[in-house]
Structure 1
Amino acid sequence: MTSLADDTRWLDAVDQAALVAAGEVTPLELLEAAIERIERIDPVLNAVVIRWFDHARDTARSDLPNGPFRGVPFLIKDLFASYAGQRITNGNVALKNQNSVSPADTTLVSRFRDAGLVIAGRTNSPELGSVPTTEPLAWGATHNPWDTTRSPGGSSGGAAAAVASGMVPFAHASDGGGSIRIPASCCGLVGLKPSQGRISLGPIRDETALSVELCVSRTVRDTAALLDAVRGPAVGDTVIAPAPSRSYVEELDADPGRLRIGLLDHHPQGGAVAPECAAAARSVGTLLESFGHTVEFAWPPALEDGSLRLHFAALWSTNMGVGLKRFEEQIGRSLAADEFEPMNRVQADIAAHFTAVDYALAFSAATHFRRALQAWWADGWDLLLTPTVAELPIPLGTIANDPDNPLATVERAFQFIPFTPPFNMSGQPAINVPVEWTDAGLPVGVQLVAGYGREDVLLRVASQLEMGKPWAHRTPSVG
């Protein structure tokens, strides 16, 4: 006889919400099922690093908002997303030891709660989300459910491991250089990076930043339904994406028509790409052709610009500098050498030597790149298809702090993720789709990129791929 924890483990959020709406289970019963799974599975994975189960139980017993996900258990990433009265560390040792709590919800967390989600804790993230793996000194490494010797990716690696292992149906994630798409690829999940300005970063963060937020999920419909629930601007937002013409859920059954799709199966600047990753992009291109789309080897020439990485690195190191300053303001003192990770410290130190003119020039270069990149879609292309990452999920420890050469860590990270950062700079929506797998059972994601504001096109095609080559039956054996 199976338990509710087993019966609901592989149900997506839409189905779990339907059980609550039909009165077949209560929100508390769904939550207890998720807690049972977390307590059983997480000792192997180390994905859920902060838990507020008693608070979540009180929430589940309360009069929950009648939103589309009423009663569905949920986890939020330990990075920037504030939940009033609950702990947050941003992956930092000093904040962890201080037991810091959030004074108020961020706008997105309030929208999660208004959607009826029951938030039960926080998932592991690297300090400041700075690298594409999840191995912070504060909390230790998160393991990939498909092969526990490998990384789940990052920075939303804890979220991806929790969802891929069936702890919760979907989880909050954010993406400043690929941090939704990378772990989605490594863990066999759907990972949509929305357009810049699609979802408010209020009340503190600025929508002109590289990062956006949404989730990782097992089904396209969960991602579409959550996007419907939380999209839209808030007071004072600096970037606002154009409103969709209809709900994103309605796009799942819509005919995308015959699309013109460019295929990039190699590193645009000459780096290495694993054969399995390149082959996955080509295989999905063939599948898309079978749906009636036109697929050609073509890509934006702007991606071949060798200065792109330098501009991204300048903006990224500034983020590390700002993060360090904010931590010190919060704690009320300077952080000791062992309280800020070496790979982030060296970037913050570099940023500290920038002048205002240096930063303005980097921002200007990024703006020129943004226009040059988006011009390819304006010239008549609908989608770009690429590998999501350049390697199979990397062994844990591959991207690790080296105090003697901390910049080597940054260089190694760029080798892993050449395909994702450009679209944080351009602000375009991009999605990882988990269509391909190796013979050994490792997921190999592919990335689709649309023009700015065109999440509708991405969701239509992702839904086509989900129906044409389903992945829901693939589940890891962990737990």
Structure 2
Amino acid sequence: MDIDELLWAGADAQAAALRDGSASAVELTEAVLRRIDAVDPTLNAFRTVYGDAARAAAAAAQRRIDAGERTPLLGVPVAIKDDLDVAGDFTGKGGRPQFPPAERDGPVVARLRAAGAVVIGHTRTPDRCLWPFTETLAYGATRNPWQLDHTPGGSSGGSAAAIAAGIVGVATGSDGGGSVRIPSGACGVFGMKTSRGLIDDGAGQDWHGLSVIGPLGRRVADAAALLDVIAGGPVDPAGGYRAAVDADPGPLRVALSWWTPLGKPPRIEAARRQAVLDTADRLRALGHHVEPADPPLGPRPSPQFLVRYLRGVADDVAGLPHPEWLEPRTRRIARLGGTIPDRVLARARAAEAGLHKRMSAFFGDFDVLLQPGWTTRQPRVGRYHGSGTTSTLAGVSLGIPYFPTWNVLGYPVAALPVGWDDAGLPIGVQLIGPADAERRLLSLSGQYERAHPWADRRPDPVYG
């Protein structure tokens, strides 16, 4: 396969090509760096690119391959969301650097390096990873490869855009209210919000348990291979996450739900509603039983999410040496969160147990829950530029009401690409499982992808 064509094959296929000798890690890394030079001035997906360090890492990885070593991502370029420490670089989280460059890699990056992955650069995020669009006053807007005047989503927008544009096959993300799933759906790539506690990132429970690290990939296998590495511990070839992608999930009981904790079901654009219904029909054709059923949660998750999110932002900002460098919206959210007393936060955390009890019965009847992703078309770049805190929060909430509940509960969720709208923008859905059901979701997603592949479709030829 031509080396530039290999960029579109995804990380798992790249790893296979490196293992069988049809490509070298050095050639692949050089191709990635050329593509960044060609398309990133337009996309703005990367804050920093580690060109020389990546070349050295690729050469070292090739020596390991030549010596017969094998890991899921040995020699494969990987992009890192700018919320994880990379030695020698600051961690910006979308804004001006608040702290000096990191002296050492964070745990997730260290696992990737140990596995021989080539760390290629830090990808863009919104300020403090707060928004479902990736735009900052400091660094401008990151753009969606499918339509440059639309957002790639956020907060892992740079990672999703880099994958959709054929720069890298896999990238890290994080998800505190949809921040892996929102950009995955916006950019037509696969993403997974992992179970709370699965991945130790060394930072404790960000946003009081809402936020977790998760993989994004061009294909399901790409994200699964990354998960095998960053979850820690030895990879079991027979029972790892990558192996689950190829496994038959067997017939599953799937609940189709239009419920959100905001009350009556939100208005969903016709194309996105139809995509959910089409996905249900496709799952039935694959042998699964799909029926309408709503999780028995009512409005309870909403106040729990808001308390933990707002207080989480306040606690994050409180530890910064220069809060005055933050964007005005960020400072206002932090001030609001700072008014939430410890006792209210404690009640919100304690109330989560009641939600788990309700969902335990639900997941006794069903294996997987199918829900929409975005309810509307991805916003245009600049849609919320200059908007105040309240208007921004209210505006974005209309498009993403199906995401935050699963952060409150800490359950795994797969963001599955299922189509495109009439403007050529991707449409995605969510597959939700109980805690630690990553393998089930990967197996189901892999089965769906084999029957209804999406990764061969590419953005406009301007991206190569």
Same fold (TM over 0.5): yes
Deviation at 1:23, TM superposition (A): 2.9
For the residue of structure 1 that corresponds to 2:432, the secondary structure is strand
Deviation at 1:383, TM superposition (A): 0.7
Aligned residues: 452
Q: Is this contact kept in 2: 1:124–1:157, CA < 8 A?
A: yes
Deviation at 1:254, TM superposition (A): 2.3
Structure 1 293/244 Cα, relative in aligned 2: closer, same or farther at 3 Å?
Answer: farther
**Does residue 69 of the first structure (1) align with residue 73 of the second (2)?**
yes
Report the Cα distance in structure 2 between the residues aligned to 1:455 and 1:318, rounded to whole angstroms. Answer: 29
Q: Is this contact kept in 2: 1:190–1:223, CA < 8 A?
A: yes
**Does residue 17 of the first structure (1) align with residue 29 of the second (2)?**
no
**Does residue 257 of the first structure (1) align with residue 250 of the second (2)?**
yes
Partner deviation per Cα, 1:373-405 (whole Å, 9 max, x = no partner): 34411x321111011121121111233442xx3
Q: Is this contact kept in 2: 1:156–1:180, CA < 8 A?
A: yes
**Does residue 294 of the first structure (1) align with residue 304 of the second (2)?**
no
**Does residue 445 of the first structure (1) align with residue 428 of the second (2)?**
yes
2:330 to 318, 322, 344: 344
- Equivalent position of 1:381 in the other structure: 366
Q: Is this contact kept in 2: 1:343–1:410, CA < 8 A?
A: no
Gaps of 5+ in 2: none
- Equivalent position of 1:48 in the other structure: 46
- Equivalent position of 1:421 in the other structure: 404
**Does residue 335 of the first structure (1) align with residue 323 of the second (2)?**
yes
Structure 1 125/362 Cα, relative in aligned 2: closer, same or farther at 3 Å?
Answer: same
Letter in 1 for 2:95: N
**Does residue 310 of the first structure (1) align with residue 303 of the second (2)?**
yes
Partner deviation per Cα, 1:391-434 (whole Å, 9 max, x = no partner): 121111233442xx322211222212111111111111100111
Structure 1 253/233 Cα, relative in aligned 2: closer, same or farther at 3 Å?
Answer: closer
For the residue of structure 2 that corresponds to 1:258, the secondary structure is coil
Deviation at 1:3, TM superposition (A): 6.7
For the residue of structure 1 that corresponds to 2:191, the secondary structure is strand
Deviation at 1:74, TM superposition (A): 1.3
For the residue of structure 1 that corresponds to 2:8, the secondary structure is coil
Structure 1 267/209 Cα, relative in aligned 2: closer, same or farther at 3 Å?
Answer: closer
**Does residue 151 of the first structure (1) align with residue 151 of the second (2)?**
yes
Letter in 2 for 1:249: R
Partner deviation per Cα, 1:89-131 (whole Å, 9 max, x = no partner): 1112353xx7x31122211111111221111211000112111
Report the Cα distance in structure 2 between the residues aligned to 1:68 and 1:38, rounded to whole angstroms. Answer: 24
**Does residue 282 of the first structure (1) align with residue 277 of the second (2)?**
yes
Report the Cα distance in structure 2 between the residues aligned to 1:347 and 1:375, rounded to whole angstroms. Answer: 36
Letter in 2 for 1:197: G
RMSD, matched Cα: 2.2
Report the Cα distance in structure 1 between the residues aligned to 2:196 and 2:233, rounded to whole angstroms. Answer: 11
Letter in 2 for 1:43: P
- Equivalent position of 1:273 in the other structure: 268
For the residue of structure 2 that corresponds to 1:273, the secondary structure is coil
Partner deviation per Cα, 1:126-165 (whole Å, 9 max, x = no partner): 1121111101222111000011111101100000000000
Q: Is this contact kept in 1: 2:94–2:128, CA < 8 A?
A: yes
Report the identity percentage: 35
For the residue of structure 2 that corresponds to 1:10, the secondary structure is helix
Letter in 2 for 1:397: G
Gaps of 5+ in 1: 235-242, 329-333
- Equivalent position of 1:240 in the other structure: none
Partner deviation per Cα, 1:167-208 (whole Å, 9 max, x = no partner): 111111111111111100000011111111111122x32376
Structure 1 195/10 Cα, relative in aligned 2: closer, same or farther at 3 Å?
Answer: same
Q: Is this contact kept in 1: 2:196–2:410, CA < 8 A?
A: yes
Letter in 1 for 2:9: L
- Equivalent position of 1:206 in the other structure: 205
- Equivalent position of 1:29 in the other structure: 27
Partner deviation per Cα, 1:294-329 (whole Å, 9 max, x = no partner): 111112021x31x4322211111112112212222x
Partner deviation per Cα, 1:432-475 (whole Å, 9 max, x = no partner): 11122223322100100011111111111101110111112111
Q: Is this contact kept in 2: 1:94–1:335, CA < 8 A?
A: no
Letter in 2 for 1:295: V
Structure 1 23/291 Cα, relative in aligned 2: closer, same or farther at 3 Å?
Answer: closer
Q: Which shows bigger deviation, 408-417 or 443-452?
A: 408-417
Report the Cα distance in structure 1 between the residues aligned to 2:258 and 2:276, rounded to whole angstroms. Answer: 6
Q: Is this contact kept in 1: 2:175–2:193, CA < 8 A?
A: yes
- Equivalent position of 1:237 in the other structure: none
Report the Cα distance in structure 2 between the residues aligned to 1:412 and 1:360, rounded to whole angstroms. Answer: 29
Structure 1 245/314 Cα, relative in aligned 2: closer, same or farther at 3 Å?
Answer: farther
Q: Is this contact kept in 2: 1:71–1:116, CA < 8 A?
A: yes
Report the Cα distance in structure 1 between the residues aligned to 2:115 and 2:223, rounded to whole angstroms. Answer: 13
| Aligned pairs (5 A) from 1:188-207 | 188-202=188-202, 204-206=203-205
**Does residue 82 of the first structure (1) align with residue 85 of the second (2)?**
yes
- Equivalent position of 1:433 in the other structure: 416
Q: Is this contact kept in 2: 1:371–1:426, CA < 8 A?
A: no
Structure 1 232/119 Cα, relative in aligned 2: closer, same or farther at 3 Å?
Answer: closer
Q: Which shows bigger deviation, 38-47 or 52-61?
A: 52-61
- Equivalent position of 1:331 in the other structure: none
Q: Is this contact kept in 2: 1:266–1:278, CA < 8 A?
A: no
| Aligned pairs (5 A) from 1:153-192 | 153-192=153-192
Deviation at 1:362, TM superposition (A): 2.2
Report the Cα distance in structure 2 between the residues aligned to 1:441 and 1:345, rounded to whole angstroms. Answer: 36
Letter in 2 for 1:76: I
Report the Cα distance in structure 1 between the residues aligned to 2:185 and 2:205, rounded to whole angstroms. Answer: 27
Q: Which shows bigger deviation, 341-350 or 161-170?
A: 341-350
For the residue of structure 2 that corresponds to 1:62, the secondary structure is helix
For the residue of structure 2 that corresponds to 1:9, the secondary structure is helix
Q: Is this contact kept in 2: 1:50–1:87, CA < 8 A?
A: no
2:440 to 432, 454, 457: 457
Q: Which shows bigger deviation, 145-154 or 132-141?
A: 132-141
